[in-house]
Amino acid sequence: MLKQVFDKDQLSKVLTPSDVWQWDVLRFYGNVQTAVDHSVKHWRSCGLVLSPLEISTAKNRPVFVPSKMEDAFAIKLLDRFIRRIYKVRQSDRNRIVRQLVTLLKDSGDYHVLRLDINNCYESISFKRLIDKFEDDLILAPECVSLLRNIHNDLSKNHNLQGLPRGLAISPTLSELYLESLDKKIAVHADVIYSARYVDDIVIITPTKKENNVQRYVESVMNDMDLRLNNRAGKYYSGSSRCANFSYLGYSVSVDYKKGSANEVTVTVCPEKIKRIKYRIAISLAEYKRDRNFSLLKKRIKYISMLKKVKKGRNGDLLAGIAHNYQYVTDGFRCLKPIDGFLCTQLESPRFGLGTIERDEIKKISIYGNARKGSVGKFSKKQTVEIMRVWKNA
């Protein structure tokens, strides 16, 4: 059985640079090890009892955060224990996209269902998961008690029976809860292919079998207290030969080719394009307030370039548009309207940019940097400052 002890060795394994910056560890404790020692000492003297969670709002949804560093670290350790004991792993987004594109190239007559779980986190019963842990007798009593502590706080103080957005534990608990849904969909006789990434589901069925499959999926979801999201952009049902839908940040469209492989076009979806434009607008508005041109320039570069997130033995882990949307088929030409948007905004007198400053920013091309896979160098401190204004964007 995995060691489930809230000690220095275990805590040191889960802390990341993001934790260090979020809790300003270096300023308050001088170094990470001192913060680790302090946290473990706090747990031993005060017990694993969490303070009430703090709440904020992001994208019109409540987001919960631990009120103290010691609480946040305890929840991260709890998350590690559950993930390793139950072997919880999130689906590989890139793998799903590759598989989906390959299947859609088949010129056979199939049907595509793109489904979404409505209010996924909030709909998952926290209590049902805690009951499972108690019945399984695998998770340590300290861990179960910590989960009950979180659930009681959410229930009594926020009237929330589901999973809290914002806590490190929630993605793991969500994946664990939805494993049974994945298995039940996959074994249905009329399901050719199915995949789920967080709350987004895609299913390929034989033609004329889609209604039967959807009714089955909805029945299984109802038993789990889950519901489908039928809003525009979240639901699609159509023939694979002329499919046109958004999934996992991509817009996917199929051009049927009789007797040969279909042509599948993949681009960045309009919702993500809109989000990038929004971040540009926020950056310009912040420049108008603080007049920090150097920071504005870094923000625009950060939006357009790849970033090294983590160094690994098999290569660096990257993030950024060119990585997140690496399966586009148009060479990132779908990003050209963003460059046009940026140039239009730069010319607006309301931001107060001079000619020299405008020309400097115009040299940065979102499309160009994505197409070339340009990699930017941003320190952790710079990244925190750059992203500060995009907290809810």
Q: Please report, in tens digits, the pLDDT of each residue of the chain (393 residues total).
A: 578 999 999 999 999 878 888 888 988 999 999 999 999 999 999 999 999 999 988 878 899 999 999 999 999 999 999 999 999 999 999 999 999 999 999 999 999 999 999 999 999 999 999 999 999 999 999 999 999 999 999 999 999 999 999 999 999 999 999 999 999 999 999 999 999 999 999 999 999 999 999 999 999 999 999 999 998 889 999 999 999 999 999 999 999 999 899 999 999 999 999 999 999 999 999 999 999 999 999 999 999 999 887 666 556 678 899 999 999 999 999 999 999 999 999 999 999 999 999 999 999 999 999 999 999 998 878 888 898 898 766
Cβ contacts of 360 within 8 Å, gap of 6 or more: 293, 297
Query: What's the rounded Cα separation, in Å, for the pair 227 and 211?
Result: 16
Packing angle, helices 141-158 and 126-136, rounded to 10: 160
Question: Residue 316's pLDDT is what?
Answer: 66
Question: Residue 1's pLDDT is what?
Answer: 54
Q: Across-strand partners of 173?
A: none
| Distance, first Cα to last Cα, the chain | 41
Question: Residue 393's pLDDT is what?
Answer: 64
3-state helix, strand, coil in the chain (%, to 5): 55, 15, 30
Kindly report, residue by residue over 1-59, the tens digit of the pLDDT.
Answer: 578 999 999 999 999 878 888 888 988 999 999 999 999 999 999 999 999 999 988 87
The DSSP letter of residue 117 is: B
Q: Is 65 left (phi over 0), alpha (psi -120 to 50) or beta?
A: beta
Question: Residue 381's pLDDT is what?
Answer: 80
Kindly report, residue by residue over 58-74, the tens digit of the pLDDT.
Answer: 878 899 999 999 999 99
